[in-house]
Every structure is written in structure tokens, then in C-alpha cells.
């Protein structure tokens, strides 16, 4: 079911208003590619979107609220990647699923890097709303990895000494941390393809116990 979009006063908005709201979000995302979220002002967003501050405040309480909405959208757009984790990773085809997952994760991050960096920074600094947005986005991946690790522990492929939750959390932490610095790795001669393959191998070997 499609989620109803509301204005700041609780009114459900129609198609035209939704388009205006989307234009404001697009403007916010574009500006975040060029400047820090701390420096971004409502007037900057409305100038980019060719509308007024009064219109902005119909949909968002402040710039942080707009960024939060973008973070939530980015999380929703990541959900199709879970399918790669739900496949059986044993055997030859498992390596392809691992590579598809690592590739999709990096491509998603690169497409939303400015938003995801702000989301994670705000979450780490204790902002509850951004922390919830991050947790909600990562939970399906965490659950899928835990299930895969537990299944391979039961089959004897990997050690039962591993905590499934801690291992899954470590994998996601590695993914998020490395891809956030992918531009620096490229400066040192590590291509995106190198990064995708390396991450795929690390994840595959960790959760299956099989050699690549």
C-alpha cells in the first residue's frame, strides 16, 4: 500500500503538492553534493527549487527534516538488494550472488553518498531520528545475514563460536565504512571493481566458510 504523504500540519497532500515536495527534496539532495548539511539553509533549498521558504515549511520543519526524509527514501530504495542475500550461497552460483550483493551495495552508496554520510554522522552523534532511519534501513540486511550465518553453522560449514549477530553487524560495518571512502581508495589505485570483488570474497568466505 502506498504511504500517504502529509504536510507539516498533518494534512494529506495531493499530486501537485507532492510534486512540489519532491522538487524540494531533489534540490536538497543536489545541494548536499556541494556543501555540508550544517551550512545548508532553507533559502538555499528554495532558491534551487524555485519556490519560497513559506512553501518549504508546508512540508518540512527545517533542512534537517528534509535530509531525514531523503535518508528514509534511500533506505527504502536499498530493500531490493536483500534478494541477493536470500539466495543459497553454497556452490558455484553462491559466489555470483555475493558479487551481485557487494556490487549493488556499492552502487547504491555511490548514488546516495551525500545523504548516507549525513545519516550516519547524525546517527553516530546521537540524533534519535537519524539513528532510527539508519537502523530501519540496515535491519533487513542484518536479519538476512544472521539467518545465512546460522544456517551455515547448523550445517557445520562455519564455526559455532561465531556470534551470528555480531558477525552480521561486523560485515555491515565493514561495508559502510569502506564504501564511504571509496574515492580515496580510487586515488590509491583501487577501482570500484576491485572493491566489489574484495568485499564479495570477504563476505562470502565469512558467511559460508567456503574458499573463493
Taking alpha carbons only, the member of 161, 154, 153 closest to residue 207 is: 153
Rounded to 5 degrees, φ, ψ at 6 are -115, 150
Predicted TM-score of the model (pTM): 0.86
pLDDT in tens, the chain (212 residues): 345 565 665 565 667 888 999 999 999 999 999 988 889 999 999 999 999 999 999 999 999 999 999 999 999 999 999 999 999 998 779 999 999 999 999 999 999 999 999 999 999 999 999 999 999 999 999 999 999 999 999 999 999 999 999 999 999 999 999 998 988 999 999 999 999 999 999 999 999 999 99
- At 2 the pLDDT is 45
Task: Give, in order, the Cα–Cα distances in Å from 51 to each of 32, 154, 162, 197, 198.
Answer: 18, 58, 54, 44, 45
Tell me the three cell numbers of residue 58.
508546508
Angle at 165 between CA 130 and CA 172, to 5 degrees: 50
Residue 119: half-sphere exposure toward Cβ, Cα within 13 Å: 27
Distance (Å, rounded) from C-alpha 71 to C-alpha 122? 11
Domains of the chain: 15-61 (1.10.10.60), 71-208 (1.10.357.10)
Residue ranges of alpha helices (H) inside 33-127 are 42-49, 53-59, 63-78, 82-86, 92-111, 113-124
Q: Are 142 and 169 in contact (CB under 8 A)?
A: yes
Amino acid at each position: 500500500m502506498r504511504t500517504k504523504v502529509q504536510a507539516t500540519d498533518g494534512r494529506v497532500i495531493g499530486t501537485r503538492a507532492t510534486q512540489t515536495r519532491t522538487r524540494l527534496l531533489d534540490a536538497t539532495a543536489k545541494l548536499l553534493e556541494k556543501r555540508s548539511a550544517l551550512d545548508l539553509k532553507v533559502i538555499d533549498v528554495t532558491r534551487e527549487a524555485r519556490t519560497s521558504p513559506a512553501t518549504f515549511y508546508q512540508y518540512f520543519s527545517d533542512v534537517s527534516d528534509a535530509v531525514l526524509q531523503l535518508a528514509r527514501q534511500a533506505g527504502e530504495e536499498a530493500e531490493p538488494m536483500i534478494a541477493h542475500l536470500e539466495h543459497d550461497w553454497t556452490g558455484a552460483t553462491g559466489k555470483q550472488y555475493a558479487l551481485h550483493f557487494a556490487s549493488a551495495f556499492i552502487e547504491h552508496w555511490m548514488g546516495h553518498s551525500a545523504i548516507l554520510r549525513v545519516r550516519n554522522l547524525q546517527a553516530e552523534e546521537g540524533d534519535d531520528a537519524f539513528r532510527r532511519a539508519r537502523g530501519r534501513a540496515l535491519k533487513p540486511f542484518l536479519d538476512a545475514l544472521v539467518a545465512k550465518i546460522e544456517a551455515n553453522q547448523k550445517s557445520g560449514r562455519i564455526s559455532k563460536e561465531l556470534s551470528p549477530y555480531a558477525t552480521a553487524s561486523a560485515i555491515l560495518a565493514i561495508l559502510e565504512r569502506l564504501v564511504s571512502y571509496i574515492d580515496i581508495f580510487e586515488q590509491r589505485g583501487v577501482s570500484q571493481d576491485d572493491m566489489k570483488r574484495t568485499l564479495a570474497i570477504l563476505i562470502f568466505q565469512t558467511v559460508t566458510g567456503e574458499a573463493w
